[in-house]
Structure 1
Amino acid sequence: MKAILKFSLLGITAATALYSCGPQKTEEAVVEVVETKTPTLTLLWETPDSLMTNESVLYDESTGTIYVANIEGQDPSEKDGKGSIATISKDGKIINPAWISGLNAPKGMAISDGKLYVTDIDELVEIDIATSKVSNKWKVEGAEFLNDAAAHNGTVYFTDMRAGKVHSFSNGEIATVSEGHESINGLAVAGDGTIYGLDASGLKKWNEDGTTTVINSTVTGGDGLVILGDGNYIASKWQGEIYFANDSTQTLMLDTKAAESNTADIGYNAAEKIVYVPTFFKNKVAAYKLDY
Structure 2
Amino acid sequence: MKTAFLFPGQGSQSPGMGAEVFPHFSEKVAQADEILGYSIEQLCLGEEDGRLGQTQFTQPALYVTSALEYLQATEEGANPPDFAAGHSVGEYAALFASGAFGFEDGLRLVAKRGELMSKVEGGAMAAVIGLEKDKILEAMQACGREDVDLVNFNSPAQIVVSGPAASVPQLEEPLKAAGARHFVLLKVSGAFHSRYMRAPGEEFAEFIKDFELAPPRFPVISNVEAKPYEENDVAELLVRQISSPVLWSDSIRYLREQDEMEFQEIGSGSVLTKLLRQIP
- Measured against the shorter chain, the TM-score band is under 0.3
When Rg is computed on C-alpha atoms for both structures, the one with the higher figure is: 1
TM-score normalized by the length of structure 2? 0.24
**Larger RCO (alpha carbons 8 Å, 6+ apart):** 2
TM-score normalized by the length of structure 1? 0.23
| Structure whose residues are more often helix by fraction | 2
